[in-house]
Structure 1
């Protein structure tokens, strides 16, 4: 179980600031959803939390500064599933997911039976068992996305950083994936920080939302507090209606422009 504290985090590339002065706290087993229009800095924020881009400010996991952790300890604390991963061409799905066990292997770097058991469990839970021996390039986009998440889950890190985890997935596999992540945080206390494009999905799964626009935080709170028509219309420049699902979570629906309808 891990807590995450982001304190005054600014980050960017080649001297250009992309996100500025972001602060947020996530309790153990919590789920923070990062939303915002395209180009608002969501992916950059996740990379800064992991230490992959130049940044100022602090990121603490269980009170320890991520910047001070050795690579192996960082990989045990933080699991990361990027939106656009670079996948090794020659590896099978099993070999690739086994890479997630690297922070836990001994000095010789050899996997144990326990490591193989973890991988088998993850493959099963993500409906990848029948693809275990297939080479990564033979997978569809959605299958590759599940393999990337499987590798991150195999790390058994206390914090999961997920960048648009449902990209390329059909609605059924997207629900299965998000339900699995939700179970992990309830069963194991895994803390989740994810960027999410689908605002309705963000409202269903995340406990708290952080809305970025132009690299700064423009709204933060519960889904009900952040996903309002006024807020979304302002920051997404869109016509929005916010409805209510049977469980009470907000449903964000686009509103068609007024105009003549075609007669059937």
Structure 2
């Protein structure tokens, strides 16, 4: 792919970065990112991926925009209330960058979801709100050997990690959380609350980690979990070991 003059101008601030350059920007333009959820994490991630020129963005979400979303889901406005989030997100991406092809899938991921969901995808960002979905997405990514950027938020805190559990020395998401989770185990922001700006931080962080995986800049993030405390504020990074007994990527996994 040869960058057009208009693209050279649009993405100039990426191209002058030594660790991205023209080759890295070309990779972004030819890449496909799948986002699970168009909520607090998905909204800023979609914006930055589109602005960065990621060539194809697919978003899976079965919800519609509500007034209570607007405190943190900055892709939407009051005029979008009642509209499917994937439709509102698609319209926003079209306004942001005509280089980007957008696909919206208004559906919920469950045990019937097949590997077709991530066919041709280069990176998956998971910003959904329950463990059951996250573990299904983890297993789909493992099977397809697609990097999974998993981000989560709650109140004033956030966490993010990139999982490549098919590698012999890298954990998957199930290595981190285990099996003992029911669909309702995640905290509900409707009852627990969440700082809107925290969604912006974690969603932008997720977009950066997806671009890192695509363009290859900086250090590989396998086995690292980043924890952000908005009250302090501070961030720390912990190492996650691969679980030999993991039912998804361990030695006994089928």
Q: Which has the larger radius of gyration?
A: 1
Flag the structure with more relative contact order, 1 or 2, with Cα contacts below 8 A and sequence separation at least 6: 1
Higher-strand-fraction structure: 1
**TM-score, with structure 1 as normaliser:** 0.30
Normalising by structure 2, report the TM-score.
0.31
